[in-house]
Structure 1
Amino acid sequence: MTFTDNLALAVPEIVLALGSLGLLVVGAFAPKQTRLVGGGAVLVLLAAAVAAATQPFGEAFGGGLISDAAATFAKVAIYLASAVAIPLGLPWFERRGVRVFEFPVLVLLAALGMGMMASSGDLISLYVGVELSSLSLYVLAAMHRESPKASEAGLKYFVLGALSSGMLLYGASLVYGFSGSTLYSEIAAAAGSGADTGLLFGLVFLICGLAFKVSAAPFHMWTPDVYEGAPTPVVAFFAAAPKLAAMVLFARVLADGFAGAADQWQQVLVVLALISVAVGAFGGLVQKNLKRLWAYSSIANVGYAVLGLSSGTSDGVQAMLMFMILYMIDVTGFFACLAALSRDGRPMETIDDMAGLIKERPGLALAMTVFALSALGLPPFSGFWAKVFVFKAAIDAGLWVAAVIGLVGSVVAAFYYLRLIKVMWFDSSPGATDKPPVEARAIAAVTAIFAFPVVLVALAWLTPLAQRAALSLGLA
């Protein structure tokens, strides 16, 4: 391939890189023009999404960057979710007297890293994408400089993230040492001819490093503290798009690089999935802070996504993709509700704060009810269909026991979702709430409407797209 052909397959990445650098210069010379930088960042992300949706398929830079249906599916979703984070986050910071033009720039850089993760074709591009995304997220977690909790969240995220990066690098070095290549295609050839012990050790460390990025237990220890301390719009961002990017990277590494060792990594993934479901379900029972509660909910939901992937089939990858897309929309909407709610200038973040919300803010209360019922998996909300895909893939692959345990975990988690609904609908309100901002209220409304009833129509066109993306990977 010529250099021009390589660049043609990297247009979304080029758009994001040039856009973030250009907006960084604009922000440096006009730091008070945060709305200008934010609007420019949204336009850059939309342009990158269009470029990703229309770019040709192929391999660039010696196989280090892959453009296929899976990469396109993930990139479009990641860039759109990132675009939503900017109008949700910038006004939130401005209302607190914090002007941060760096926020949209960091979102762009994180989106660039996540896109590279979805398109990685070797261990080097994998690591570059993971670190570019992670470093941006560490700073975003501590973006509210005047908040001690935000600083603590950023520091914890950074320290534990460095640990996971170490495991990822150690696993990558073992895989390279025993396969003789960093390319997934050549690693697959080594694993297909009978993976030796060293290669499997490297794979396990890779899985552990990636499990941290998606908050899968027992590598979830950072999640509740970071969710609680980070600014609410930032949590809305990194609870959605980065999880999808990491799960697509997870699937690509296993499908393109280790399809021949599926019997080995299936066992690891099943254990990760069941531990995650158990930790998320039981850990959430004692939480009073809603951000911590949704952190445990995210751990459980990642467990369901990993369960779909553990089936080791293209149907399992499709189930994982459908689950993550529907989960992304729900979790973004829920945190948009939290970003919209305050009382006497104080954020409403505990379950008790939501008492009587249906009388004070019926629209937001209805939206939160929809998200809670969807996360619970109640039909006909989007979360129900997401779990149907996952459990069907697991059962078809013969993982009956794991599917039953996952279903039990969902029943246990129903307690804290129903408790939130009960408090909003039946408890007495402690006082009037502040007027919610327009942008957060609009995002909450749109995502709630998608969760039901729009999802019933959206499934008809999302399902074939996810199927096409899954078939582009190396699993049968």
Structure 2
Amino acid sequence: MMHDLLLSLQHTRPELLLAGFALAGVVIGAWSSPRAFGWLSWLAVLALVGAGALAIIDRPLAPVELFQGALVADGVGVFAKALIAFSAAATLLLGADHFSATGERRFEYPAMIVLAVLGMFIMVSARDLISLYVGVELQSLAAYVLAAWRRDDARSSEAGLKYFVLSAISSGLLLFGASFVYGFTGSIRFDAIAAAVGEGAGGVGVTFGLVMMLCALGFKMSAAPFHMWTPDVYEGAPTPVTAFFAAAPKVAAVALMARVLYEPFIGIEDQWRQVVTALAAISMVWGSFGALMQTNLKRLMAYSSIANMGFVLMGLASGVENGPVSALVYLALYLPANIGIFALIVAMRRDGAAAETIGDLAGLAQRRAWMAALFTMLLFSIAGIPPFAGFIGKLLVFTAAVNAGLVWLAIVGAVAAVVAAAYYLRILATIWFSPPAPAMQGASGAVVATATLTAALTFPILVFALGQIEAWARWAVGGSF
């Protein structure tokens, strides 16, 4: 028993580090001046990077059950935790600069980011229905606070309220579905559920419970038609918070959905594949066509994230051989471009106000050519235009779908990708060919470094290193499912 406890504590060092920092940060911040915001933010970045590094260092050779099967340490968990930690650290850097410029230096911000990441770490390691729900709710509670961060701003308050109400409904769906699964299989553990499902237990009741759970997870990852909160929350929340919502929670939701589909419910793959393919098709179409009508940058990125989650779901629906691998690689290549775009949006301030519309980018190439070049690289990558890194991600999910016999879904994805390219090119046309808008203020070194680094990760020469990323993803999936 003691050996199991020590082993569990060893493999949960990242979670313990995050929990310790969150508690210490709140206590220290409550007794410090607003100037503590700066160094607390940097300490939070170090804690996040340290947690990601610990997850990689402690990676097991084979799945290890923790705390009597409540959690698991395995490849998918390690891969997801690394992506979550490093993407959260990048967005936290954006927040430290942005809130210092706007005078909103409150110590709760880094603590809330770290608490949300802690919830995500629990999500991606969940091995039973209780730990799954606890992780989702811990992440959600911190996210409510972040969405409504500007309590004196009507749009931010509206964003927080909408997110809270709709997320509460999705949490109810998740709990409702989990109760059905427990009732018809007699267990909350994923391995026991898989055994019961394999023996034909539950039938329609288990399928109904799974559909409810998939609807709730679809909400968390902004998959249509459960995306209603996304455009308003992205627009109303502060831009660094929007960048965080567009990155880390998506990884956690996708990893959790992959674990739910391919562990306890692999025995009814034919049933859940219909649901996942429908979510993928609706998300790709709704997100791509919805973005065409947007002029607000953050609303456009909201619809873009909906469409991109559709591509990820197309990968997840493609079967255990290539599906989860293609989805994880797609996420790993999508995140840098997405964070980089938000970093550039944070960097563009005029008269103390952040850029909000596509028109604010007019003539950017004539005033700041380096920002225009970074925007071009990042948008080309997120659009999947070769030879940038995002093209490899789309190629993998399309190949997985075709090999799984989902040709119709691949065709829908191809149409959605063409439509998406149109609104990305509209942004680039404004940047390069429109008359210049008034000059903007200078950006901080941290924001510039974040944008430059993320753009570098999309550069064509790094495509040669992508084979290693796919190898890591195959190691992660092979050691988990």
Instruction: Give the TM-score, by structure 2 length.
Output: 0.97
Match of 1:222 in 2: 229
Mapped to 2, the partners of 1:55 and 1:242 lie a distance apart of 23
- Secondary structure at the counterpart of residue 378 of structure 1: coil
CA deviation map 1:230-282 (0-9, x unaligned): 00011111100110011000000111110101011111100000000010111
What is the total number of aligned residue pairs between the two structures?
A: 474
Match of 1:20 in 2: 22
- Secondary structure at the counterpart of residue 314 of structure 1: coil
Question: CA contact under 8 A between 2:97 and 2:447: conserved in structure 1?
Answer: no
- Secondary structure at the counterpart of residue 257 of structure 1: coil
The reply on whether 1:64 has 2:66 as its aligned counterpart is no
- Secondary structure at the counterpart of residue 66 of structure 1: strand
Identical-pair percentage? 48
Runs of 4 or more consecutive aligned structure 1 residues displaced over 3 Å after TM superposition: none
Match of 1:185 in 2: 191
Mapped to 1, the partners of 2:115 and 2:464 lie a distance apart of 33
- Secondary structure at the counterpart of residue 288 of structure 1: coil
Amino acid at match of 1:45: L
Amino acid at match of 2:32: A
The reply on whether 1:167 has 2:160 as its aligned counterpart is no
Amino acid at match of 1:14: L
Question: CA contact under 8 A between 1:314 and 1:470: conserved in structure 2?
Answer: no
- Aligned pair partner of 2:58 in 25, 45, 55: 55
Mapped to 1, the partners of 2:185 and 2:173 lie a distance apart of 18
- Secondary structure at the counterpart of residue 451 of structure 1: coil
| 1:282-321 correspondence runs (5 A) | 282-321=289-328
Deviation at 1:134, TM superposition (A): 1.0
Mapped to 1, the partners of 2:59 and 2:324 lie a distance apart of 22
Deviation at 1:435, TM superposition (A): 1.5
Match of 1:432 in 2: 439
| 1:110-149 correspondence runs (5 A) | 110-149=116-155
The reply on whether 1:330 has 2:347 as its aligned counterpart is no
| 1:87-126 correspondence runs (5 A) | 87-126=93-132
CA deviation map 1:132-158 (0-9, x unaligned): 111111111111233221111111111
- Secondary structure at the counterpart of residue 59 of structure 1: strand
- Aligned pair partner of 2:381 in 366, 374, 381: 374
Match of 2:206 in 1: 199
Deviation at 1:45, TM superposition (A): 1.4
- Aligned pair partner of 1:465 in 461, 467, 472: 472
Instruction: Give the TM-score, by structure 1 length.
Output: 0.98
Deviation at 1:31, TM superposition (A): 3.7
Deviation at 1:410, TM superposition (A): 0.7
Match of 2:91 in 1: 85
Cα distance change of structure 1 residues 458 and 30 upon mapping to structure 2, 3 Å threshold:
farther
CA deviation map 1:211-246 (0-9, x unaligned): 000000000000000000100011111100110011
Match of 2:7 in 1: 5
CA deviation map 1:374-410 (0-9, x unaligned): 1221101121111001001111111111101111111
Question: CA contact under 8 A between 1:217 and 1:276: conserved in structure 2?
Answer: yes
Moved more, 409-418 or 208-217: 409-418
Amino acid at match of 2:15: E
Deviation at 1:370, TM superposition (A): 1.4
Match of 2:255 in 1: 248
Deviation at 1:165, TM superposition (A): 0.3
- Aligned pair partner of 1:39 in 32, 37, 42: 42
Question: CA contact under 8 A between 2:59 and 2:78: conserved in structure 1?
Answer: no
The reply on whether 1:447 has 2:458 as its aligned counterpart is no
Mapped to 1, the partners of 2:444 and 2:47 lie a distance apart of 25
Deviation at 1:350, TM superposition (A): 0.6
- Secondary structure at the counterpart of residue 123 of structure 2: helix
Question: CA contact under 8 A between 2:65 and 2:72: conserved in structure 1?
Answer: yes
Amino acid at match of 2:43: G
Q: Structure 2 regions of 5+ residues with no counterpart? A: none
Mapped to 1, the partners of 2:169 and 2:187 lie a distance apart of 24
Amino acid at match of 2:162: K
| 1:410-429 correspondence runs (5 A) | 410-429=417-436
Deviation at 1:472, TM superposition (A): 2.3
- Aligned pair partner of 1:264 in 260, 271, 277: 271
Deviation at 1:56, TM superposition (A): 5.0
- Aligned pair partner of 1:213 in 213, 220, 224: 220
Mapped to 1, the partners of 2:8 and 2:480 lie a distance apart of 21
Deviation at 1:130, TM superposition (A): 0.5
Deviation at 1:113, TM superposition (A): 0.5
Mapped to 1, the partners of 2:214 and 2:479 lie a distance apart of 21
Mapped to 2, the partners of 1:329 and 1:344 lie a distance apart of 28
RMSD: 1.2
- Secondary structure at the counterpart of residue 132 of structure 1: helix
Question: CA contact under 8 A between 1:315 and 1:470: conserved in structure 2?
Answer: no
Match of 2:238 in 1: 231
Amino acid at match of 1:211: G
- Secondary structure at the counterpart of residue 352 of structure 1: helix
Cα distance change of structure 1 residues 56 and 386 upon mapping to structure 2, 3 Å threshold:
closer
Mapped to 1, the partners of 2:147 and 2:279 lie a distance apart of 26
CA deviation map 1:327-347 (0-9, x unaligned): 111110000000000222221
Amino acid at match of 1:7: L
Mapped to 1, the partners of 2:476 and 2:83 lie a distance apart of 13
Moved more, 258-267 or 78-87: 78-87
Question: CA contact under 8 A between 1:308 and 1:317: conserved in structure 2?
Answer: yes
Deviation at 1:455, TM superposition (A): 3.2
Mapped to 2, the partners of 1:12 and 1:96 lie a distance apart of 32
Question: CA contact under 8 A between 1:255 and 1:473: conserved in structure 2?
Answer: no
Q: Structure 1 regions of 5+ residues with no counterpart? A: none
Cα distance change of structure 1 residues 134 and 454 upon mapping to structure 2, 3 Å threshold:
farther
Mapped to 2, the partners of 1:278 and 1:87 lie a distance apart of 33
Mapped to 2, the partners of 1:166 and 1:340 lie a distance apart of 39
